């Protein structure tokens, strides 16, 4: 007598697909190929579209598994990838996302318990903060760093209620990303997703609109 396997729902609902659900994600191979092609020539990549069109799923369940699978041949298959949202404290959230062993966080020794604090301080020091943090982490040669900033439009929300320091920190966050993705900085990449109705807001930050 055979026992039927329990049925599973292949649709995640309103949330995006995750990287471990790539076996359920299909039909957007051409778009994934286009993302890979663009990323080969530009370390800063933005995925812009209307709300609910699947931007996050395309990155999490299309692009990321393809990178791990070595489909961007010259870059190899060794990737340290983090996905974060800016929220109210973009620099703090980026530091938290980076300060884990899978990315560039300290895993042992006396600095292990303060890794997040040290990362936060490094990112706030200058626009080259992330580049320096990667260098100090002694990332093995051949490893690539990818920072995915999901729902980038959060930077533009509630801006009228922010104080001057918060506005400056958001500008510093943008400059940090742009500098990290410059061609001469090594093997660090930045990908962001953003709702298309916020594209015009990018002009608030120097260099972001053209990037």
| Domain parsing of the chain, residue ranges | 21-203
pLDDT in tens, 4-35: 555 555 555 444 545 555 544 444 688 889 99
Let me know: does 153 contact 202? Beta carbons within 8 Å: no
Count Cβ atoms within 10 A of the Cβ of residue 183 and give its class: 0-12 exposed, 13-18 middle, 19 or more buried: exposed
Each residue of 165-185: pLDDT tens digit? 888 999 999 999 999 999 877
Residue of 104 and 52 predicted with greater confidence: 104
Of 3-12, 48-57, 170-179, 195-204, which range is least confident? 3-12
Q: Tens digit of pLDDT for each residue in 106-124?
A: 765 555 567 888 899 999 9
Kindly state the tokens that stand for 179: 């500098």
- Distance linking the first and last C-alpha atoms of the chain: 61
Render 28-67 in DSSP notation, one character per residue: -HHHHHHHHHHHHH-SEEEEEE-TTSSHHHHIIIIIHHHH
The class level of CATH for 21-203 reads: alpha beta
DSSP-based three-state secondary structure for 28: coil
Q: What is residue 61's DSSP assignment? A: I
| Residue-level pLDDT at 14 | 44
Residues 6+ apart with CB under 8 A from 159: 167, 170
């Amino acid at each position: 007598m055979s026992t039927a396997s329990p049925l599973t729902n292949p649709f995640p609902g309103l949330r995006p697909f995750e990287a471990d659900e790539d076996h359920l994600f299909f039909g957007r191979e051409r778009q994934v190929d286009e993302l890979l092609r663009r990323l080969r020539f530009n370390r800063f990549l933005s995925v812009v579209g209307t709300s609910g069109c699947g931007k996050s799923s395309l990155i999490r369940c299309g692009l990321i598994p393809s990178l791990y699978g070595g489909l961007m041949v010259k870059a190899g298959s060794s990737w340290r990838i983090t996905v974060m949202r800016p929220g109210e404290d973009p620099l703090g959230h980026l530091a938290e996302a980076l300060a884990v062993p899978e990315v560039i966080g300290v895993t042992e020794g006396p600095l292990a318990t303060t890794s997040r604090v040290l990362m936060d301080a490094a990112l706030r020091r200058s626009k080259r903060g992330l580049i320096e943090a990667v260098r100090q982490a002694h990332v093995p040669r051949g490893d690539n760093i990818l920072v995915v900033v999901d729902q980038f439009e959060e930077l533009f929300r509630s801006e009228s209620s922010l104080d001057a320091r918060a506005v400056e920190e958001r500008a510093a966050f943008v400059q940090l990303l742009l500098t990290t993705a410059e061609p001469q900085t090594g093997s660090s990449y930045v990908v962001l997703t953003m709702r298309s109705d916020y594209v015009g807001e990018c002009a608030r930050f120097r260099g972001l609109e053209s990037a």
